[in-house]
Amino acid sequence: MKLSPAQLAQFDDLGYVYLPECFSPEEIAAIRRASQDVLEQPRPEVWREKDGSPRTAFACQKYNEMCRRMVTDERLVEPVEQLFGESVYLHQFKINAKAAFTGEVWQWHQDFPTWHKDDGMPDARAMNIAVFLDDVMPINGPLMLVPRSHRAGALPSAHDTVTTSYPLWTLDKETVTEMVEHNGIETPVGKAGGVLMFHANLVHGSAGNITPYSRRIAYLTLSAVSNAITKPTRPDFIAHRDFTPVKKVAAKELADFAKNGEAVAA
């Protein structure tokens, strides 16, 4: 699946593009079942909020077949190859679970400074591909994006290890205020099955979720093969050391597995 000229122009201008209904309801139902199994496991790769509810499950493609198949799906891989003009490898895979009532904030940040400072990623030739596993609504902690903020490059950031259970290189209030005054805030929302692609330097964050509606999102972080990390400081399950190009497979394979193979694999 390649991006259209209009979608490429939007990505270049705004720093993100939202693709609704990329995955069918049947596929999303199967991925949700897989994510529930992953998030319930007492593994070191599953990080939790301060109250104990799951926040992020890393590297679940290594122990869950549905997640493994997502990593190679052409709908997620091909647009990134198109934008970078080369093969990509999987830098990180995770499921973020902003739980109903208790899901905590994600501070304002850019992704690339964390990948650069913590993992030794040379350039911002990587990006997150977000697959909505639940309906993302204006009320249940949607991702807030500052359009066009990617044009500012990597901004000064500080290492926040206090606000939430997840350490992050975050932006200060003055920087965010200036970015928002110039560009505003947008919140891409949509039904489960939509896909959001955004630039590694796009400023973003999300508020807590106090609604009864959970907001789970699966994230593939795909990086150009020429942009492999050089000085990783985080565990392998957070910053992968395998730079083998992803071999994409047809979307039909995930659909068939969701329909016929999921029970056998389980």
Looking at the DSSP bridge assignments, the partners of residue 223 are 89, 126
CA 108 – CA 204 distance, rounded (Å):
5
* CA 185 and chain centroid, separation: 19
Residue 93, both tokens: 């895979």
Domains of the chain: 5-265 (2.60.120.620)
Question: 123 and 223 in contact (C-beta within 8 Å)?
Answer: no
Q: Which of 78, 61, 79 is nearest to 70 (CA)?
A: 61
pLDDT tens per residue across span 58-68 = 999 999 999 99
Q: What pLDDT does 262 receive?
A: 63
Q: What pLDDT does 136 receive?
A: 97
Q: Which of 61, 87, 117, 127 is nearest to 243 (CA)?
A: 87
> What's the average model confidence in pLDDT over 245-262?
90
pLDDT tens per residue across span 29-40 = 999 999 999 999
By percentage, how much of the chain surpasses pLDDT 90? Answer: 84
Q: What pLDDT does 208 receive?
A: 92
Q: Is the pLDDT of residue 264 over 70?
A: no
* pTM for the structure as a whole: 0.93
> Using N-to-C axis directions, what is the helix angle for 5-14 and 74-84, rounded to 10°?
70
Helix (H) or strand (E) holding 114: helix 111-119
CA 29 – CA 18 distance, rounded (Å):
20
Q: What pLDDT does 200 receive?
A: 97
